[in-house]
Amino acid sequence: VPGALQHVGLRTRAVSSLSSPLSLPGLHVLAIAFALEVSVGKTNTVMALNNSNVLLPCIFTTCIGFQDLDFTWYFNLTEMIYHGKIKSKASEPILVERNPRVEFVGSTTGKDNNISIVLKNVEFSDAGRYTCHVKNPKEKKAQHNATIILTVVQESKLVEADNTVTLIIVGIVGGLIGLLILFMLVKRVVLFIIKKTQDGKKECLVSSSGNDNTENGLAGSKAEQKAPPKA
């Protein structure tokens, strides 16, 4: 019996040791379901003119709320350009540190947790990757981020691209109008030919009918002019 109890004890301990890992996937899925998500919008690229201002969007969502949330914007993953903290959903972000050319334009007290920024007086050297990094203490050490890629161009190139698109559109519209005019001309020519053919057939029919009637009439007249034979 002791041996049996020892065997049962070993089996119990084995099941216990296995049951712990089996529960981890469920907990992991639960953690993912409540995890904070960060997004920069439908597209992760933005184009800006040299010497203009550009909006770098970023929002975050969470199902478990947040407390003392920390968010940071990085340029090319190394240079910090904006750092802020949000105490709770009822409060707006507090500035910790920022680049002089960066301005916070978001709000976290409304429907969306908007932590977007505006980069002023864009230069060609500003082209690169901008990462919105968010850390929620409620998720312990979990960190989330999203990246947007900025391209800086000259105004002339942008205008040139717009002109190219305009020329393509004008060319397509002009081609369609030309095809429509050609179709109308061909249609008129075909209708003219058909009408002339039908008119010719009618003239032939009328002429043929007139000749037959004349011949019949002359023949009848000659027959009437003949005197009856003498008895």
In DSSP notation, 150-190 reads EEEE-HHHHHHHHHHHHHHHHHHHHHHHHHHHHHHHHHHHH
Predicted pLDDT of residue 211: 57
Phi, psi of 120 (to 5 degrees): -95, 150
Greater confidence (118 vs 199) lies with 118
Predicted pLDDT of residue 27: 43
Mean pLDDT, rounded, for 94-121: 94
Predicted pLDDT of residue 5: 33
Predicted pLDDT of residue 34: 54
Under the banding of pLDDT at 50, 70 and 90, the label for residue 213 is low
Greater confidence (5 vs 27) lies with 27
Greater confidence (44 vs 222) lies with 44
Greater confidence (17 vs 96) lies with 96
Percent of the chain clearing pLDDT 70 (strictly above):
68
Q: Is the pLDDT of residue 77 over 70?
A: yes
Predicted pLDDT of residue 209: 61
The predicted-structure confidence for 18-63, as pLDDT tens digits, reads as follows 333 334 444 444 444 457 899 999 999 999 999 999 999 999 998 8
Greater confidence (40 vs 6) lies with 40
Q: Is the pLDDT of residue 107 over 50?
A: yes
Predicted pLDDT of residue 228: 59
Q: Is the dihedral of CA 173, 179, 183, 184 positive or negative?
A: positive
Amino acid at 214: T
Amino acid at 189: V
Q: Tokens representing 128?
A: 């690169």
The predicted-structure confidence for 173-210, as pLDDT tens digits, reads as follows 989 999 889 988 898 888 888 888 877 766 666 666 65
Q: 3-state DSSP call for residue 55?
A: strand
Q: Tokens representing 68?
A: 């003392």
CA 22, CA 45: separation in Å to the nearest integer? 42
Q: Tokens representing 104?
A: 């916070």
Mean pLDDT, rounded, for 207-228: 54
Predicted pLDDT of residue 17: 34
Predicted pLDDT of residue 223: 46
| Mean pLDDT of all residues belonging to the chain | 78
Under the banding of pLDDT at 50, 70 and 90, the label for residue 4 is very low
C-alpha torsion angle, residues 40, 43, 45, 46 (rounded to 10): -80
